[in-house]
Amino acid sequence: MTAVERTPGLPMSVPLDGLPQRVRIHEVGARDGLQNEKATVPTEVKAEFVHRLADAGLTTVEATSFVRPEWVPQLADAEQLMPLLDDLGDGIRLPVLVPNRRGLERALALGVREVAVFGSATESFAKANLNRTVEESLEMFAPVVTAAREAGARVRGYLSMCFGDPWEGAVPVPQVAAVARRLYDLGCDELSLGDTIGVATPGHVVALLDALGGLDVPVERLAVHFHDTYGQALSNTLAALRHGVTVVDASAGGLGGCPYAKSATGNLATEDLVWMLDGLGVETGVDLSRLTATSVWMAEQLGRPSPSRTVRALSHQE
């Protein structure tokens, strides 16, 4: 592991009222992060990345995506990658993205126990990402979710463009809440609300969570997925935590964006999130030094420094 210098006692733990005792981080760097790299990362490097993330204490690591190779060539090696992760055992959750029934069948054939579908709150992004309307995409997901549950797999539903769309601009909160409720009703165990282009602000986050509560979507079934385009990801996360959300998506080293939304920049860096949560006294089970060393290592594989401010501060990257 790369050496990482930590100042003893920092960040100092100073709790705030109204926050959960523990947060589960849904690590997306190996999938959402690497799918946006221009160069294809070797399968063995991806496997090592997942192992290092697990070794740092992350218990949910989204491993890959079973999409058609021509759509996301960086993840075309899903069948080769998953067997390399078998040794991680039952203590590590390894969800994968499946766009349709064929993707689900490929994943289940490899023993995958958790899958995710990826929907949109807006028509423009549904067309760009899935070449379908929102309604048609939900109709496509329905048999996928049903088949996954019948096979004993856990299902996550991603909903993108929850706070703004690069083509449509502002997205009305009731519109997002209505699509989210439809996706939830398909049978998803968890619903991740995506700020795909990073335009959300804390009040907007609270308004959407309130709207979902009004539609009887339990906050215990929600996760948040923020991008840091305008530097708002941590403040938005804190607003969500104060509202009762306990699952936060993040990407080691701040890797990732969105291949179908050119204005989308990197995901919330897992290290930045852990630094904040450590300072708030919120448990994550993540060893920040090990995680930072992992992101430094991956940055070396990619040939560029990590965009995470915490990684740069702790590793003295320029």
Burial (CB count within 10 angstroms: exposed 0-12, middle 13-18, buried 19+), residue 57: middle
Burial (CB count within 10 angstroms: exposed 0-12, middle 13-18, buried 19+), residue 95: buried
Write out the two tokens for 165: 């769309």
Residue 250 in contact with residue 290, Cβ under 8 Å? no
Instruction: Compute the distance between CA of residue 47 and CA of residue 87 in angstroms, rounded to an integer.
Output: 11
258 as an active site residue: the answer is yes
Whether the bond into 73 is cis, omega within 30 of 0:
no
* Alpha helix positions (H), 75-151: 78-81, 101-109, 123-130, 134-150
Q: How many separate helices (H) and strands (E) can be counted in the chain?
A: 11, 9
Instruction: Compute the distance between CA of residue 146 and CA of residue 246 in angstroms, rounded to an integer.
Output: 26
Sign of CA dihedral 170, 173, 178, 179: positive
Residue 195 in contact with residue 227, Cβ under 8 Å? yes
Instruction: Compute the distance between CA of residue 52 and CA of residue 298 in angstroms, rounded to an integer.
Output: 10
Catalytic residue among 258, 286, 291, 298: 258
Instruction: Compute the distance between CA of residue 30 and CA of residue 46 in angstroms, rounded to an integer.
Output: 7
List, by residue number, the catalytic residues: 258
